[in-house]
Amino acid sequence: MFSRKTKEIDSQFESITVLEEVKLGGLKQSILIRGENINNPLMLFLHGGPGTAQIGFAPKFQRELEKYFTVVNWDQRGAGLSYSKDLKKEDLTIENMVNDTVELIQHLLTRFNQPKLFLVGHSWGTVLGVKTSQKVPELIYGYIGIGQVVNMREGEKVSFDYTIRKAKDLDNKKAQKELMSKEFNPTDMNFLKVQRKWLTKFGGSFIGVTMYNLVYSTMLFQSEYTMKDWMRYLKAGKFSLDSLWEQIVDVNLIETAPRLETPVYIFAGKHDYQTPFPLAEQYFHTLECPHKELIWFENSGHLLNYEEVEKFNEECIKIKENTLAI
């Protein structure tokens, strides 16, 4: 709680447990590397948000993956441990973040003397994941998209319509009043605050985990973030969201990324209306790539890697085994 560290791994192999800073795009950024065997393939997680850095809470959900991968979590520029008060809004652009991602991949592959890695993106991180896969497909074994962003404006409309429909179905007058008082505008943070509040209450964000399980319990029992880090986390999250959101709203991967040269695995929660699963399914069917799979998580919303941890880990391990067996 008061000193930043990560727990050692007891392994018969040469393990790694490192929480450190690397320079990406000329900026100091924090990464957490954990694995039971440094000869295992690398798996890099690109967190969502933007600004929802996950070094502080992800490790407790990834213990099984650490047996099969060298797992890397990265607090992106402006988020979590990589936040700095010296950063300006213009420092956070999608292009800069993609370049950071490529630079980190190259750093990791060189450090571990590996040819490729597995790339996992969640929510906003799927934008980075797809755009990085476009840029350096030769460095990626496979891309896994969780809560896949597709067409942001359309997705926000589907999400809003779902929330209003649920409010009416449940005869929730308060929700109907609050939602109907807001004009649909995905760039308006006041609109989003109200819509996301009711989306969460109606089970369109997550159902298989609570905020206590995900974050609050972690604040007390995990050691990768200190209490001071958690306080900074909130400030960093707002800064990241304010800096990037308007850029993200204009993302339409059906138009800009209709083809990828890497294998693609879309992990979709059947209850996800934050980045609505019907659009992820549409993107899957239209996407051209060497190999693709759509994997459903029946009891999850937008946070399926935390809602159905065992299934998520099993599917990732299966992808690894099938990929490296070729």
> Which of the residues are catalytic?
123, 272, 302
How remote is the C-alpha of 187 from its chain's centroid?
20
- What's the farthest any 2 CA atoms get from each other in the chain? 60
Radius of gyration of the chain (CA): 19
Is the sign of the CA dihedral 321, 308, 6, 115 positive or negative?
positive
Rounded Cα distance between 160 and 186, Å, is 9
User: How many secondary structure helices (H) and strands (E) does the chain include?
Assistant: 12, 8
Rounded Cα distance between 214 and 19, Å, is 20
Contact 63, 116 (CB under 8 A): no
At which residue do the structure tokens 């990464």 appear? Answer: 31
Q: Distances in Å between the alpha carbon of 250 and those of 16, 120, 156, 239?
A: 39, 22, 11, 19
Rounded Cα distance between 245 and 304, Å, is 23
Contact 321, 306 (CB under 8 A): no
Query: What residues pair up with 22 in beta bridges, in sequence order?
Result: 29
- Neighbour count for residue 153 (Cβ, 10 Å): 14
Rounded Cα distance between 316 and 157, Å, is 31
* 8-state DSSP, 81: G
Q: Find all residues with CB under 8 Å of 321, minimum gap 6, and list them.
A: none
Rounded Cα distance between 81 and 30, Å, is 6
Rounded Cα distance between 293 and 117, Å, is 18
* 8-state DSSP, 217: H
